[in-house]
């Protein structure tokens, strides 16, 4: 009997020890082997489904697929590595710079944004305000971490006359932070720009919309850590989305589409109009990219008029933002309308087929 009590006491002590650790092993370091470490999480944290749901959603995200993974650990500069590589992102947060290539190839994943083994919780690594390239301070809570990568890599203030542009010139693929805040577009003189309130209307900006209410959607394809706002089932054609976030607000009650009052349709029309003007002037190619030598190789073209370069930047900002106005309809409308007005002022008069000499010089470069 005494032996049985001793055995029970040892078992209880072991159970208390495991409970205090929260896992069957003490973890005091950031995991070095991604897949093994991520899989081992579910040994302890699978019962309530929280991490399993996040894992399933993440695997259906744009972040976890395609070029976002292909550009992992690509050295030679910080444009790719600081946002496409786990070690690069942590390096950037800690030091403001990166030092690629790293010893281990690791795309962004759970521990890129969260540090549960150090913090003991799933809080974000940082919610510090982020300063955009034009020195605007973006400060919207949890969205600040998103905007560390989702911002234009170019400041509109740096645009000047006689500027070379090339196929990859411009804001890159993530200017959402700039447009949400209504800043860093090329603003023409004598045009009054407005901005929409979405940056402040939703708690934590990007997070409030793109993660949504988990009880308001099903599956792993929209919301949560997928960050997708819409998904079309390729088998049934059914569409899943998070439009309920808009419909439940005081601003857009009962809307059934992101194209509220036809604003997305309007932005799409302005984009098409501006693209035609830029194409006819030789500024963009048939794919809407800044013109250069035939691809490949990529070569620059010289644009002598900074207003033309500014119109090109505004076109690329809205194109790469990909929300077609949702992030900031008023600001995007202003950027496109003012760019169209300027480009239309350069169209050759009736009976003439020649553009001003500044455009002819830029066209001669390709």
Q: Are 175 and 321 in contact (CB under 8 A)?
A: yes
Distance of alpha carbon 259 from the chain centroid: 20
* Rounded Cα distance, 283 and 297, in Å: 17
Q: Would you tell me how many other CB atoms lie within 10 Å of the CB of residue 334?
A: 21
Distance of alpha carbon 182 from the chain centroid: 15
For the ranges 67-76, 77-86, 330-339, the maximum mean pLDDT occurs at 330-339
* Rounded Cα distance, 358 and 95, in Å: 43
C-alpha closest to that of 207 among 147, 249, 122: 147
Q: How many residues does the chain have?
A: 366
301: β partners: 165
Is the backbone peptide bond immediately before 101 cis, with ω within 30 degrees of 0?
yes
pLDDT in tens, 121-147: 889 999 999 999 999 999 999 999 999
Residue 29 has a pLDDT of 45
Q: Would you tell me how many other CB atoms lie within 10 Å of the CB of residue 184?
A: 25
- Residue 298: pLDDT band (50, 70, 90) is low
Residue 155 has a pLDDT of 97
**Top-confidence residue, 307 or 44:** 307
**Top-confidence residue, 137 or 281:** 137
* Rounded Cα distance, 178 and 147, in Å: 9
* Rounded Cα distance, 177 and 260, in Å: 21
pLDDT in tens, 215-264: 777 789 999 999 999 988 888 888 888 898 888 888 898 899 999 999 99
Does residue 38 carry a pLDDT above 60? no
* Rounded Cα distance, 144 and 125, in Å: 11
Residue 275 has a pLDDT of 96
Which of 23-27, 210-214, 283-287 is the least confident region? Answer: 23-27
Q: Are 209 and 361 in contact (CB under 8 A)?
A: no
Residue at token pair 């919610």: 127
Nearby residues of 362 by Cβ (< 8 Å), 6 or more positions away: 282, 283, 291, 301, 302, 303, 304, 308
* Residue 141, CA distances (Å) to 11, 123, 129, 351 in order: 45, 12, 8, 56
Which of 90-99, 166-175, 245-254 is the least confident region? Answer: 245-254
pLDDT in tens, 266-280: 999 999 999 999 999
* Residue 155, CA distances (Å) to 37, 64, 233, 310 in order: 39, 28, 39, 11
- Residue 16: pLDDT band (50, 70, 90) is very low
**Top-confidence residue, 136 or 102:** 136
Does residue 33 carry a pLDDT above 90? no
* Residue 128, CA distances (Å) to 111, 131, 150 in order: 18, 10, 15
Q: Are 111 and 31 in contact (CB under 8 A)?
A: yes
Average of pLDDT values for 169-174? 92
Residue 129 has a pLDDT of 96
Residue 24 has a pLDDT of 41
How is residue 193 written in tokens?
Answer: 């720009």
284: β partners: 290
């Amino acid at each position: 009997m005494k032996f049985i009590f001793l055995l029970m006491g040892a078992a209880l002590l072991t159970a208390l020890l495991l409970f205090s650790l929260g896992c069957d092993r003490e973890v005091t370091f950031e995991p070095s082997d991604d897949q093994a470490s991520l899989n081992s999480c579910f040994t302890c944290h699978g019962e309530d489904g929280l991490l399993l749901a996040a894992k399933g959603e993440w695997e259906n995200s744009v972040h976890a697929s395609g070029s976002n993974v292909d550009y992992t650990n690509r050295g030679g500069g910080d444009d790719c590595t600081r946002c496409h590589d786990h070690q690069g992102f942590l390096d950037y947060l800690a030091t403001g710079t990166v030092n690629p290539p790293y010893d281990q190839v690791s795309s962004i994943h759970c521990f890129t944004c969260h540090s549960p083994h150090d913090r003991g919780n799933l809080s974000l690594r940082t919610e510090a305000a982020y300063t955009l390239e034009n020195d605007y301070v973006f400060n919207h809570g949890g969205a600040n971490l998103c905007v560390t990568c989702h911002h234009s890599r170019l400041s509109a203030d740096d645009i000047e006359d006689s500027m070379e542009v090339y196929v990859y010139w411009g804001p890159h693929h993530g200017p959402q932070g700039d447009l949400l805040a209504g800043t860093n577009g090329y603003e023409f003189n004598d045009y009054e720009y407005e901005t929409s309130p979405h940056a402040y209307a939703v708690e934590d900006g990007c997070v409030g919309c793109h993660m949504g209410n988990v009880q308001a959607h099903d599956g792993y394809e929209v919301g949560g850590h997928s960050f997708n706002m819409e998904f079309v089932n390729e088998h049934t054609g059914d569409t899943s989305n998070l439009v309920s976030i808009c419909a439940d607000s005081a601003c857009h009650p009962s809307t059934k589409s992101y194209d509220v009052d036809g604003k997305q349709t309007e932005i799409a029309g302005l984009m098409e109009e501006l693209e035609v003007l830029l194409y006819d002037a030789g500024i963009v190619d048939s794919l809407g990219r800044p013109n250069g030598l035939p691809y490949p190789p990529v070569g620059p073209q010289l644009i002598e008029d900074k207003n033309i370069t500014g119109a090109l930047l505004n076109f690329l900002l809205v194109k790469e933002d990909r929300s077609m106005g949702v992030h900031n309809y008023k600001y995007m409308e202003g950027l496109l309308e003012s760019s169209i007005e300027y480009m239309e002022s350069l169209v050759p008069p009736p009976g003439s087929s020649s553009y001003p000499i500044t455009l002819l010089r830029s066209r001669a470069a390709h």
